[in-house]
Structure 1
């Protein structure tokens, strides 16, 4: 089955795998950093269907030049039983987005989505708050990582999705002792007259962790009357970078974070694991963002 995969490039390399995979921005990110550092290595996309996943890993396990892979849908959970070990963070999230190969061929699963999501929030999270609350839209793989990361940082969560039972199951699996809540997706589509206070001393987030609002997907119906004062509105969608949710929130004076922040942040952690060096980011990712949005 190895003939189904692109041959090894005779130099250190890593990949991103998924089905589909042509849309992935990961090769642009990693190859930009490799070029900046002058490393003799490459990173590429590899199309792997669900029925090829086992053969793909069996082939790469014995390739000494293969440093590992990033994992996208639909493999983030299906890959788990095929690995030799999972790091604690990936076990908590219940999903793997990065696989690295040890010298003995052992395959280790990790999840860098949590670190990538939290990276642009670190200044706020380093402060002391009276209360932390996040409203999260979505119940998929990215939402799992976000729920785990925010629960670990002391947030009370409200998770909204089409299937409230799935939302509750996520909370029960990730933080069963937390005082969290679920809501139907349409709850946030309707205006509210809830009298928020000014929330000074609190940390409030609104996170779109769903594909709603992505190019080619239905829009996210979210009424901004549900956003408390001083909130940060964070949309992990990367195409378009400026989603309708972010544009509307910025117009009303809220601080916003786009999906490229999480994408670049999680890639930075994976890059260091693959290639043994931290990526160059002294320009605040300005050059990289220009590449990704050109």
Structure 2
């Protein structure tokens, strides 16, 4: 491998499950670009030193940020778009030619893309989890004009703070609480992810026209989505958001949009 090539990467802990390298390297190959996209396992303790080291690397174009760094990384980068005050989490860091690091968030737009044609005006929504991904979800939902939002989370205080931050009316329940009826259920937690505890939830309170959206993509067919399919509920898997947010990050890293005519081929690669 030519180590002088420009490269970007995804950082997190854990990180081995990430499909981001498959996506970005597929696009790079399709466009004939001599660049690379990699995995980097970075613990919370190692994050400051990692960011400082990468900032000095002239070939480093930036990184995507996943669990558990989406909030902590904001302390190490510039925020010209006001992401810290709006969404409150960053999933993309871009290195400028002068070495300045800029943080942004492509998760909100990536999350909303698959449901952009659904009328959620005034609709009740349930969100599981209150981490960095939840912030992007709530940011998007607030702009969609949804009704009451119920968050299921281990820490009620943290979840209530997020509802207030995004100007949403709603409620906070324990993770094992019964679901209220909702038009949309979103799992923004890591529950159900490979290597993580299962997400145990009874979907019977949901109406027949509800949508179940799981941001987890490893495995692609989670227990939550299997349960939703068994009820013939509409489902959206984590690849939709993953590909959507990746497309925006790719252009920021490599200066070109990904090819728009290869989505089916990419999805087949990711689900092989």
Query: C-alpha root-mean-square deviation of aligned residues, in Å?
Result: 2.2
TM-score w.r.t. length of structure 1: 0.84
1:19 to 13, 27, 30: 13
SS at match of 2:259: coil
Between the aligned partners of 1:84 and 1:277, the Cα distance in structure 2 is 23
Three-state SS of the structure 1 residue aligned to 2:15 is coil
Paired position in structure 2 for 1:38: 32
Gaps of 5+ in 1: 1-6, 197-202
Matched, 1:266 2:266: no
Aligned residue in 2 for 1:140: 131
The CA distance in 2 between the partners of 1:276 and 1:221, in whole Å, is 42
Is 267-276 or 129-138 further displaced after alignment?
A: 129-138
Please tell me whether residue 249 in structure 1 is matched to residue 243 in structure 2.
no
Does the CA contact (< 8 Å) of 1:95 and 1:141 recur in 2?
A: yes
With over 3 angstroms needed to count, the CA separation of the structure-2 counterparts of 1:245 and 1:49, relative to structure 1, is closer
- Taking the aligned partners of 2:165 and 2:122, their CA distance within structure 1 comes to 23
Equivalence for 1:164? 156
Q: Provide the secondary structure at the position in 1 that maps to 2:45.
A: helix
Assess if the C-alpha contact under 8 Å between 2:124 and 2:146 holds in 1.
yes
Q: Is the 8 A contact 1:90 1:109 kept in 2?
A: no
Instruction: Report the count of equivalent residues.
Output: 271
Query: Which 5+ residue runs of structure 2 have no aligned equivalent?
Result: none
* Residues 206, 234 of structure 1: 8 Å contact kept: yes
1:130 deviates by 5.5
Change (3 A) 1:52 1:252: closer
Three-state SS of the structure 2 residue aligned to 1:132 is: coil
Matches for 1:73-222 after TM superposition, within 5 Å: 73-124=67-118, 127=119, 131-156=122-147, 157-175=149-167, 178-188=168-178, 204-222=183-201
CA contact (8 A) 1:90 1:111 kept: no
Q: For the residues of structure 2 that align with 1:154 and 1:56, how far apart are their CA atoms?
A: 39
Deviations 1:48-74, CA, capped at 9 Å, x for gaps: 333332232223223332211111223
TM-score (norm 2): 0.91
Alpha-carbon contact 2:121-2:145 (below 8 Å) kept = no
Larger Rg: 1
Q: Which runs of 4+ in 1 moved over 4 A?
A: none
Name 2:219's counterpart in structure 1.
240
Conservation of the 8 A alpha-carbon contact between 1:188 and 1:221:
no
